Amino acid sequence: MATQIKLKAKRSTKLPKGFKLSGVKANIKYKNRLDLALIYSQEPCQSAGVWTKNSVQAACITHNKAKIQNHIHAVMINSGCANACTGKQGEENCDKSAEALAKVLRIDSKHILLASTGVIGAQLPMPRILKAIPKLVAQKNSNKDSIKLASKAIMTTDTFPKTFGITCKLQSPNDLDSKNTESGKEKVARNEKTSDSKNIVINTESKENAKDSVSVENKLDSKTQEKETCNEKAKTEKKNNKFRIFGMAKGSGMIHPNMATMLGFILTDIAISKELLQEALSEINTQTFNQISVDGDTSTNDMVVVLANGAAKNEIITSKSIDYEIFKKALKKVCVNLAKQIAKDGEGATHLLEVSIKNAQSLQQAQTLSKAIIGSNLVKTAIFGKDANWGRIICAMGYSNASFDASKFNLIFASKKGKITIVKNGVGTAFNESKAKSILSADVVRILIDLQDGTHSAKAWGCDLSYDYIKINADYRS
């Protein structure tokens, strides 16, 4: 039977060790607005990334793909201008930005990643950015204010900054060494046995000499035991088993990822190989950020980057061990939280919508079905109107290209105001419309679907589609 791995995690408002953030007003698009952010680690970071699948990609995406194989020390993010469809000038502006930041940080520009978000087609206002960089570097810090400033500086139409962090435990170092070391009792017993053996020899001598010898031997044994205890303590301290992981993201509109989504930055002080870090991000991304949709559009600038600086001083993770699985669970917890915040903050949204598919034939089937439902504009508008029009949900499932047995599934609407069964074994049930409307009026609405055809499950997150979405996007450039 497979071992159940549990994540021991506590909410944390602190950055992982060795990281600093800052955010300043560079007046990139608007005056007196935070719009330039910095992520910095003095220790070199292993890095991993996933990028937009849109065939039109911003200059920062091209820049990062070329630099991500290096150790990374810093990421600079600007809002207000996407630097997309800006030609050779846009690429040169990326180089100038990285070189200017590198000069102030006193590092090589190959260790810097960039991110941009905002209006497509406009060139970066380089004089303003270059002027703001010294202040951006000078103000970097690890305190709560720096987190607040940086997370606000990357926002565009977002209504609130999106951050989440936890402190986690890896497998205990003591557990790792238990098979190879003696327990305290075993050491005491061994020392007592050694002492007794020496005392037998001592008893053949005079009583006075024996007394002095026993005293010396006891002191030696005491020192030996103390030394061994110190060695074990030092060994345990060297292999720390706690690490932090923190995420910061922006996203409100143009959210319908094909591989990554919005701008997401995950920071951790865990020590892990670059290969496993990339594999973990790619896997978790498909289960989290790839499972959200606001309006069906995939941006030119979407990216999620993970930086791991190893400052936690754990034993480096180089294989798919229990510690690797613990790290993946921690990464997923952070990414799920950020994904839900993005969906909740969808432009003009009044409801967060969660679709849960269970007992599917495969993970892919569950993911495809849940994503189709969350991406349906007809479902979104029904939720906005608090209308239990479940036919739109079935329609979305049908055109998802994920085959399923329509005669087996059950469908339930649920929220903090209760739950109600709408479909049973593929057939609509008679239900109380007033109760359904009340359930759908909650801030968070859940659509629960049981396919009764397997063991796999998946979730997707989105929001309703309101009048305000049109208002926001009708004058976005103004």
Which residues are marked as active site? 261
Q: For residue 76, give the 3-state DSSP assignment.
A: strand
Cα–Cα distance, 40 to 81 (Å, whole number)? 22
- DSSP secondary structure letter of residue 70: S
Q: How far apart are CA 121 and CA 107, in angstroms?
A: 30
Q: How many CB atoms lie within 10 A of CB 216?
A: 12
Count of alpha carbons within 13 Å of 412, Cβ hemisphere only? 13
The β-bridge relationship of strands 303-308 and 263-268 is parallel
Q: Which residues contact 344 (CB under 8 A, 6 or more apart)?
A: 352, 463
Distance (Å, whole) CA 76 – CA 105? 12
Helix (H, G, I), strand (E, B) or coil at 117: strand
CA distances from 188 to 176, 178, 223, 236, 466 (A): 22, 16, 12, 20, 72
Phi–psi pair at 121, nearest 5 degrees? 100, -10
Token representation of residue 448:
């629960």
**Residue type at position 398:** G
Distance, in Å, from the CA atom of 455 to the CA atom of 117, rounded to the nearest integer, reads: 40
